[in-house]
């Protein structure tokens, strides 16, 4: 499990670095808003990397508990983003919708990858 947690950390760090790099590239290409969106996406990977570290600490290295902790956070944290997206949709607030959509997409990607890593 230690290696699986390590694999998940590596994935989250790599995605964080990748999207930050893309944000830089977009900014250099005068695409400020899209660069901002990629930074938001990178932040989500960074947040969940921190959550995973917190899980390791809180669960004293117990693999099953770490997995449960991380899965629970992957449901709890995006719940407010879904609510915010729905509220923005009702008010036609495209900018907030776009931001919340990116955060939710990133969380879903992390959930899928974490599931794969833990099932391997």
Partner 1 sequence: MTETEAIRLFKCLSDKSRVQILKSLAIEDMYVERLAERLGITAATVSFHLKKLTEAGAVTSHKSQYYTMYSLNRGLFAVSLLDILQEESDEADLLAQRDAEYRQKVIDAFFVYGKLKAIPAQQKKRRIVLEVIAGAFEFGRTYTEREVNLQIADFHDDFCTIRRDLVTEGFLTRDETGYRRVMLSHPES
Which residues here bind partner 1, judged by CB under 8 A? 29-34, 37, 87, 90-91, 93-95, 98, 101
Minimum Å gap between C-beta 35 and partner 1 is: 10
- Least distance from partner 1 to the Cβ atom of residue 44, Å: 16
Nearer to partner 1, 27 or 111 (CB): 27
Minimal distance, residue 31 CB to partner 1, in Å: 5
Nearest CB to partner 1, comparing residues 71 and 96: 96
Q: What is the CA radius of gyration of the chain?
A: 16
Structure tokens given for 40? 């938001």
38 or 56: CB nearest partner 1:
38
Q: Between 33 and 120, whose beta carbon lies closer to partner 1?
A: 33
Is residue 117 within 8 A of residue 11, CB to CB? The reply is: yes
Q: Residue 8 burial by CB count (10 A; 0-12/13-18/19+): exposed, middle or buried?
A: buried
DSSP code of 1?
Answer: -
Give the Cα separation of 85 and 91 in Å (integer). Answer: 10
């Amino acid at each position: 499990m230690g290696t699986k947690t390590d694999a998940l950390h590596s994935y989250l760090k790599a995605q964080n670095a990748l999207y930050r790099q893309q944000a830089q590239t977009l900014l250099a290409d005068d695409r400020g808003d899209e660069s901002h969106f990629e930074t938001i996406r990178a932040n989500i990977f960074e947040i969940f990397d921190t959550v995973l570290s917190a899980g390791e600490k809180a669960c004293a290295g117990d693999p099953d508990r770490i997995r449960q902790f991380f899965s629970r956070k992957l449901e709890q944290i995006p719940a407010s983003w879904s609510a915010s997206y729905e509220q923005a949709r009702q008010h036609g607030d495209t900018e907030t919708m776009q931001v919340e959509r990116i955060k939710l997409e990133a969380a879903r990607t992390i959930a899928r990858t974490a599931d794969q890593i833990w099932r391997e």
